[in-house]
Amino acid sequence: MKTRLLIAAVLAVFVTTLVSAQSNALDKFFTSYMDDPSFTVVTISPKMFQMISKLDMEDMEPEVKDLLNNIKGLRILAREDYDGRQLYNEASSKINANEYDELLRVRDKDENVRIFVKAQGDVINELLLIVGGASEFVMLDLTGSIDLKTVGKLGGALDVPGIKHLEKMDEKH
Amino acid sequence: MSLQTFNNQVLPLRDKLYRFSLRIVGNTQDAEDVVQEVMVRVWKKKEDWKQWSNIEAMCMTITRNLSIDKKRNKHTRVTDMPDHYDEPSGDATPDEVTASNDLMSQIRAMMDELPEKQRSIIQLRDIEGYAYKEIAEILEIPLNQVKINLHRARLFLKEKIVKAKSYGF
Amino acid sequence: MDSNQVKILLEKYWQGETSVVEESRLKAYFRSDDVAEELEQYRALFQFFDAEALIKFHPVLKTPTRKSNTVRILSSAWVRGAAAAVILALGVYFFMIPGQENIDMRDVTYIDTYESPELAYEEAKKALFYLSGKMNKGVSTAANSLDKMKTLDEIVNAN
């Protein structure tokens, strides 16, 4: 069993190199860190997004569901408790200016944030967020058609965990 | 309109709410959850905002109540939380980790020994700089209770510090 | 402020009788370099207050290990490597089939973290909220600094 894994791993390295050579620099960046256990890697495939679109849970917000229905893929590469600024620079340097438009850039004393989009006409079909702070690095890559207006309206605060407890809370208070 | 009010008045409070919750629950994960819960709860009550005399105080009150609930539930539940979640996340870089940090963690430990009410009062007064009246409103207690508890808490910290020193820390 | 004044203020402070202004004078004193030796022991307390006030709420996307067994099963680098190999190999295989050149190579890195769509939904939702938070931060910063870059509003309204 172990030998098989070893072979597989060697193959993985081989294949990764092969694939990386053809894919863009950003993918290479992603793949080069995804096996590092100190990173949090989250990937949600197009297939999974299809399954998500069929979900019918009680406390789903319609606007989140609408957004997700149009999203085809999600990748997150993150590292906590870590000076993320160097990785931020590294990631930024991988972005091909011909491919992506910079949507916004924030630089304050805590962290740097850049958001890039790939758009065809008025439709945004990829969004890339890079965050590099003194104690975190986050790269978030969304593909699919993305409705920025709705994303912006989410407000960034009404996060998941609250929803679940809400019913309970309403009884209590 | 309400979204704007929310964005201008409630969202900017999140750091404060987070610190307050963190002081009570003692770990970042729960504190984050509490802040999210507060935000959701406040948003859902947007029709009532007009009747709230002070949105900020109300948010702080809700934060405290939820944090206390969270803490209480925690004790009756087995947790699979890794240890490092239980450390408040200061943004200190390794370079800043000096001897004073050691003292700081002692102070944090002393704070944790305080009863919740006193701890919250120190948080609201010495860290957030609220007026006594606001603290009374947030904690829903009379003004003189705020002062008495603040006095006790500070005296406790002082004695602890003096004692720590005489033991040669 | 000389140390006698500080001592009087401190006494008031322990009694819970100081005003906010007096407390900020105390904090300022203990931030300075010339703290009297006998008062040095209290420095950490006021430094602690200063430091605590800087803590920020920035929820990072947590490792999914707390939620998902998949991740735990795949936690060893070997196993993950193996999974990657298989999927990458498949990707390459499909890539090489004529007529499918336009396959998105990005797919090869999509090894699903979650097996259940419910968990994937929660994570995707979290990601959207996180993104939204950063976008809004950008907008407010842009507004503050009169940034010449396109702000979110412009982009959004152009669409």
Show the 3-state SS of chain C: CCHHHHHHHHHHHHHCCCCHHHHHHHHHHHHCCCCCHHHHHHHHHHHHHHHHCCCCCCCCCCCHHHCCHHHHHCCCHHHHHHHHHHHHHHHHHHHHCCCCCCCCHHHHHCCCCCCCHHHHHHHHHHHHHHHHHHHHHHHHHHHHHCCCCCCHHHHHHHC
Q: Is C97 exposed, middle or buried (0-12, 13-18, 19+ CB in 10 A)?
A: exposed
Cβ(B21)–Cβ(B35) below 8 Å: yes
Spatial distance between the Cα atoms of A87 and A133, rounded to a whole number of angstroms: 10
Q: Has residue B89 been placed in a domain? A: no
Q: Are B74 and B104 members of one domain?
A: no
For residue C8, give the amino acid letter.
Answer: I
Give me the helices (H) in A23-159, please. Answer: 25-34, 46-54, 62-69, 85-93, 148-153
Which structural domain range is residue C98 located in? 60-113
> Would an 8 Å CB–CB cutoff place A135 in contact with chain B?
yes
- Interface with chain C: mutation pick from A2, A5, A44, highest number of C CBs within 10 Å: A44
Cβ(A136)–Cβ(A78) below 8 Å: yes
The lowest-confidence range among A126-130, A139-143, B15-19, C69-73 is C69-73
Q: Shortest Cα distance from C85 to chain A (angstroms)?
A: 4
Binding partners of B (≥3 Cβ pairs within 8 A): A, C
Q: Are C89 and C68 members of one domain?
A: yes
Q: Are B102 and B64 members of one domain?
A: no
Q: Has residue B87 been placed in a domain? A: no
Q: Are C66 and C109 members of one domain?
A: yes
Residues 21-60 of C with CB under 8 A from A: 56, 58-60
Segment C35-41 shows an average pLDDT of 91
Q: Last residue of a domain, which of B50, B81, B112?
A: B81
Q: Per residue in B115-142, pLDDT tens?
A: 999 999 999 999 999 999 999 999 999 9
Answer yes or no: do B15 and C14 touch at CB < 8 A.
no
Spatial distance between the Cα atoms of A75 and B20, rounded to a whole number of angstroms: 33
**Residue A42 pLDDT exceeds 70:** yes
Which structural domain range is residue B156 located in? 98-169
- For tokens 């070893």, name the residue: A6
Q: Has residue B57 been placed in a domain? A: yes
Cβ(A95)–Cβ(A129) below 8 Å: no
Compute the mean pLDDT over every residue in chain B, rounded to the nearest whole number: 82
Q: Are B77 and B151 members of one domain?
A: no
Give the CATH number for residue B143. Answer: 1.10.10.10
**Residue C105 pLDDT exceeds 80:** no
**Residue B36 pLDDT exceeds 80:** yes
Give the residue with greater pLDDT, C72 vs B44.
B44
Q: Last residue of a domain, which of B30, B52, B81?
A: B81
**Residue B63 pLDDT exceeds 60:** yes
Exposure letters A85-119 (e unless 16+ CB within 10 A, then b): bebbeebeeebeeeebeebbbbeeeebbbbbbbbb
**Number of structural domains, chain C?**
3
The lowest-confidence range among C3-17, C24-38, C87-101 is C87-101
**Residue B150 pLDDT exceeds 60:** yes
Chain A residues whose beta carbon lies within 8 Å of the beta carbon of residue C108: 19, 23
- Interface with chain B: mutation pick from C45, C50, C56, C66, highest number of B CBs within 10 Å: C45
- What does DSSP say about strands A40-44 and A123-133: parallel, antiparallel, or unpaired? unpaired
Q: Has residue B92 been placed in a domain? A: no
Q: Are B17 and B63 members of one domain?
A: yes
pLDDT attached to residue B58? 93
Segment A5-25 shows an average pLDDT of 52
Answer yes or no: do A127 and C114 touch at CB < 8 A.
no
Grade residue B100 by pLDDT with cuts at 50, 70 and 90: low
pLDDT attached to residue A11? 52
Spatial distance between the Cα atoms of C43 and C21, rounded to a whole number of angstroms: 18
Q: Are C120 and C105 members of one domain?
A: no
Spatial distance between the Cα atoms of C129 and A35, rounded to a whole number of angstroms: 26
Q: Has residue B90 been placed in a domain? A: no
- Interface with chain A: mutation pick from C118, C134, C150, highest number of A CBs within 10 Å: C134
Chain B residues whose beta carbon lies within 8 Å of the beta carbon of residue C53: 19, 127-128
Q: Are C17 and C41 members of one domain?
A: yes
Cβ(C120)–Cβ(C71) below 8 Å: no
Grade residue A57 by pLDDT with cuts at 50, 70 and 90: confident
Spatial distance between the Cα atoms of A58 and A50, rounded to a whole number of angstroms: 18
Give the residue with greater pLDDT, C20 vs C114.
C20
**Residue A150 pLDDT exceeds 90:** no
> Would an 8 Å CB–CB cutoff place C56 in contact with chain B?
yes
> Would an 8 Å CB–CB cutoff place B135 in contact with chain C?
no
Q: Are B62 and B104 members of one domain?
A: no
Q: What residue of C is the nearest CA neighbor of A122?
A: C159
**Cβ neighbours of residue A117 under 8 Å, at least 6 residues apart?**
A100, A101, A103, A124, A126, A127, A128, A146, A148
Q: Are C101 and C124 members of one domain?
A: no
Q: Are B143 and B109 members of one domain?
A: yes
Segment A48-63 shows an average pLDDT of 84
Grade residue A156 by pLDDT with cuts at 50, 70 and 90: very low
Percent of chain B having pLDDT more than 70? Answer: 80
Give the CATH number for residue B68. Answer: 1.10.1740.10
Chain A residues whose beta carbon lies within 8 Å of the beta carbon of residue B65: 173
Spatial distance between the Cα atoms of C108 and A31, rounded to a whole number of angstroms: 9
**Residue B111 pLDDT exceeds 90:** yes
SS3 call for A130? strand
Give the residue with greater pLDDT, B83 vs A56.
A56
**Number of structural domains, chain B?**
2
Nearest in space to B92 (alpha carbons), one of A63, C94, A110, A57: A110
Give the residue with greater pLDDT, B57 vs A25.
B57
Q: How is residue B141 written in tokens?
A: 């207690």
Cβ(A165)–Cβ(B35) below 8 Å: no
Which residues, in sequence order, are bridge partners of residue A139?
Answer: A77, A130
Q: Per residue in A103-139, pLDDT tens?
A: 888 887 778 889 888 888 778 889 999 999 888 899 9
Q: Half-sphere exposure (CA, 13 Å, Cβ side) for C92? A: 17
Q: Has residue B61 been placed in a domain? A: yes
Q: Shortest Cα distance from B65 to chain A (angstroms)?
A: 9
DSSP character for B127? I
pLDDT attached to residue A119? 83
Chain B residues whose beta carbon lies within 8 Å of the beta carbon of residue A156: 11
Give the residue with greater pLDDT, A59 vs C32.
C32
pLDDT attached to residue C149? 36
Q: How is residue A139 written in tokens?
A: 């790269």
The lowest-confidence range among A126-130, B119-123, C81-85, C145-149 is C145-149
Grade residue B19 by pLDDT with cuts at 50, 70 and 90: very high
pLDDT attached to residue C118? 83
Q: Helix crossing, A160-172 with C117-145: angle to 10°?
A: 100
Q: Are B124 and B166 members of one domain?
A: yes
Segment A47-59 shows an average pLDDT of 84
Positive or negative, the CA dihedral B88, B91, B95, B96 is: negative
In total, chain C counts a number of residues equal to: 159
Q: How far apart are the first and last CA of chain C?
A: 59
Q: Shortest Cα distance from B31 to chain A (angstroms)?
A: 11
Q: Has residue B110 been placed in a domain? A: yes
> Would an 8 Å CB–CB cutoff place C156 in contact with chain A?
yes
C-alpha A129, offset from chain centre: 7
> Would an 8 Å CB–CB cutoff place C78 in contact with chain B?
no
Compute the mean pLDDT over every residue in chain A, rounded to the nearest whole number: 75
Compute the mean pLDDT over every residue in chain C, rounded to the nearest whole number: 67
**Residue B74 pLDDT exceeds 90:** no
Q: Has residue B4 been placed in a domain? A: yes
DSSP character for B169? -
Segment C145-151 shows an average pLDDT of 37
Q: How far apart are the first and last CA of chain A?
A: 56
